Amino acid sequence: MSSLISLVVGPQHPALHEPERFVFKIEGETIVDVEPRLGYVHRGIEKLMETKEHTEAIYLAERVCGICNVAHTLSYGEAVEEAAGIEVPPRAKYLRVIAHELNRIHSHLLLLGVAAELMGFETLFMLIWRDREIVMKLTEDLTGNRVISAFVLVGGVSRDISPELVYKMRKHLPKLYERVKQYKKMMEEDPTFTARTVNVGYLSKSRMLELGGVGPTARGSSVRMDVRDFDPYAAYDEIPFNVIVYDEGDSWARFMVRVDETLEAINIILYALDHLPQGPIRVRPPRGFEGEGFGRVEAPRGEVFHHTIWRGESKPWRHRIRTPTYANIPAVCEMFKGYHLADAPVILGSIDPCFSCTDRLYVVDVRTGEEKVIPYWYIRKKYWKR
Amino acid sequence: MAQKSLNIADNKKVVEELVSTLKDKVLDVKWSGPRRVYVKIAPHSHREFIKWVRDKFPNSSYLVSIDTVDFIDRGEFEIRYKMQIVHNSIKLALIFEMNVPRDYPKVRTITDIVPGAVLYERENYEMFGIIFEGHPNLAKFFLPETWPEGVYPLRKDVNILRKKPKVW
């Protein structure tokens, strides 16, 4: 008789952001089904946005996600600018691209480091995070902050780039390029990395499109979709770059998409520095206006969009935010099925969310269908008697 | 550049074809830029439109999101289904807008056409109270289990952001 055990994973985890809870239905070691539950950090930002003017709300927008904060402010800015009919100066567009791509490099390197750690490859984790520091320092020089940057504002950007910083970026980014190329070679050849990721968490292209996966998760399954390509914002319609697509559809492909995108992002920054136009960096936005705006941005994890509706007041009527991890949850639930429980951290890590620890056991008796939740204190009391 | 080739005529052709196929269900077409189009559709016809897009572009379209706007002054919700098509030179975001009466918010699910809609429908159910008929598991997703029944936080008549008086 088969016994199906439900294993609750989450919601607390110290390593990455966004606590989630997954109830894995396992048979032996194999995952049969998975039920997600989100909302542990639901802060009601969409409702709160309806009470804020855009000068305040842009700072709220970047607190949706700390790691891809530039993507959120950029998306918010694009949406409000479309609604208000503001044209951003060309220099601000290029500066937005630079900040956005620095943000992408830092996010991808963060994930690749964490992924290496999840696989028990701690040396790679420390090497990658050491090199991530270059990008963090450049971000600090450009925006004034290491993480939450407050760089993009409605109508432009907050700070201009200095010639010294341009020189510094041109000096350090090619060095980082060489390092990342070395890590790419490592990830292609290293037996530890390939053994844990190749053919793990496979999802086909048609299934990915049905489930609506976005970003590097989708591009790892040969879905050629990148917002920068099909709906260019900021200065992406003038900057040449390649859309990275891998056909394998497994966790390895999803990690490799991120490595290649890091290389591509460095090229984009160097191109933008070479072609940086002169001029003002900000125009003054109006306070209240009528209109509708739809700002789509390719964040490090996939497509972010802010959709805003203004009806002539100083505050929006409705503000809708869709984040990439949310769109990827149905896809990742499908990826788990049929793989071992030990692969779950790698599969979950490959879509770049967070992985959470076990909080309590959740036992389902299949014969009677009776469910019983055993809290952690009960186990401790019963089995860990001093 | 090849990758950024956009043919506006191709985008227009897709929308024209859609309008001619389902012409009695299309109420209004509004372009916002060459890559985005808002299509106002008749009540309860959303399944046909999404099915048309998915059948015509099975390997190059996906559902971006489902969201709702509460127009309390008109007494109705507006549900928006956002689809994206990227097929050779066609690069088009389709936004289907559909009105639902505020006092009877019930529409049919699209999870049988697009399985990825499962979470979006759950979110719209718990935030706006829109009931999606035929959804496999219309339960709470973001809100806590202790949340009161019948309170849908993103509706305009729910005021959860009332300032509390200071106690000190």
* SS3 assignment, position B101: strand
Task: Tell me the percentage of chain B whose pLDDT exceeds 70.
Answer: 93
Q: Is residue A12 domain-shared with residue A64, that is, in the same domain?
A: no
Q: Which two tokens stand for residue A137?
A: 């320092």
Interface with A, mutate which of B11, B62, B64 (most A CBs under 10 A): B62
HEC string of A4-56 equals: CEEEEEECCCCCCCCCCEEEEEEECCEEEEEEEECCCCCCCHHHHHCCCCHHH
H/E element holding A303?
Answer: strand A302-311
Q: Is residue A74 domain-shared with residue A110, that is, in the same domain?
A: yes
Q: Is residue A268 part of a domain?
A: yes
Please enumerate in sequence order all residues whose Cβ is within 8 A of that of A32, keeping only pairs 6 or more positions apart, or say none. Answer: A4, A25, A26, A337
Q: Is residue A241 domain-shared with residue A353, that is, in the same domain?
A: no
Which member of B3, B91, B142 has the closest CB to residue A38? B142
Q: Is residue A150 domain-shared with residue A288, that is, in the same domain?
A: yes
Q: Which of A68, A180, A185, A198 is nearest to A127 (CA)?
A: A180
Structural domains counted in chain A: 2
Contact A132, A147 (CB under 8 A): no
H/E element holding A228?
Answer: helix A227-230
pLDDT at residue B123 greater than cutoff 50: yes
Domain span holding position A71: 45-296
By C-alpha distance, the chain A residue nearest B117 is A211
CATH of the domain at A345: 3.30.390
Q: Is residue A336 domain-shared with residue A220, that is, in the same domain?
A: no
Which residues pair with residue B39 across a beta bridge? B29, B96
Beta carbons of A230 and B86 less than 8 Å apart: yes
Q: Is residue A275 domain-shared with residue A135, that is, in the same domain?
A: yes
Which member of B3, B67, B114 has the closest CB to residue A307? B67
Q: Is residue A13 domain-shared with residue A144, that is, in the same domain?
A: no
By C-alpha distance, the chain A residue nearest B1 is A240
Residues 263-322 of A with CB under 8 A from B: 292, 294, 296, 303, 305, 307, 309, 317-318, 320, 322
* Mean pLDDT, residues B90-119 taken together: 91
> A297 CA to chain B: closest CA distance, Å?
13
Which member of A46, A296, A322 has the closest CB to residue B154? A46
Which member of A210, A213, A296 has the closest CB to residue B114? A210
Q: Is residue A164 domain-shared with residue A258, that is, in the same domain?
A: yes
> A384 CA to chain B: closest CA distance, Å?
30
Partners of A213 on chain B (C-beta within 8 Å) are 62, 116
Task: Please give the Cα distance from A303 to A182 (Å, whole number).
Answer: 28
Partners of A21 on chain B (C-beta within 8 Å) are none
Find the distance separating the first CA and the last CA of chain B, reported in whole Å: 64
Residue that is written with structure tokens 């998409």 in the block? A257
By C-alpha distance, the chain B residue nearest A293 is B32
* CATH fold of B8-102: Beta Polymerase; domain 2 (3.30.460)
Task: Please give the Cα distance from B34 to A309 (Å, whole number).
Answer: 20
Q: Is residue A186 part of a domain?
A: yes
Partners of A232 on chain B (C-beta within 8 Å) are 4
Q: Is residue A244 domain-shared with residue A337, that is, in the same domain?
A: no
Indicate the pairing of strand A302-311 with strand A318-322. Answer: antiparallel
Q: Is residue A277 domain-shared with residue A354, that is, in the same domain?
A: no
Residue A91: the pLDDT is: 94
Give B69's pLDDT tier (boundaries 50, 70, 90). Answer: very high
Residue A23: the pLDDT is: 82
> A37 phi and psi, to 5 degrees?
-145, 120
Residue A355: the pLDDT is: 33
Which member of B114, B141, B154 has the closest CB to residue A47? B154
Partners of A225 on chain B (C-beta within 8 Å) are 62, 84, 86
Task: Please give the Cα distance from A59 to A153 (Å, whole number).
Answer: 9
What residues of B are in the A interface, CB distance below 8 Å? 1, 3-4, 32, 35-36, 58-65, 67, 69-70, 80, 84, 86, 91, 93, 95, 114-119, 127, 140-144, 153-154, 160-161
* Mean pLDDT, residues B21-49 taken together: 90
Q: Is residue A281 domain-shared with residue A351, that is, in the same domain?
A: no
Q: Which of A252, A150, A147, A120 is nearest to A194 (CA)?
A: A252
Domain range annotation of chain B = 8-102
Looking at this predicted complex, what is its ipTM? Answer: 0.89
Residues of chain A with pLDDT under 50: 1, 14-15, 354-374, 376, 379, 383, 385-386
Residues 16-35 of A with CB under 8 A from B: none
Which member of B61, B116, B161 has the closest CB to residue A47? B161
Interface with A, mutate which of B86, B94, B96 (most A CBs under 10 A): B86
pTM: 0.88
Q: Is residue A199 domain-shared with residue A165, that is, in the same domain?
A: yes
Give B10's pLDDT tier (boundaries 50, 70, 90). Answer: confident
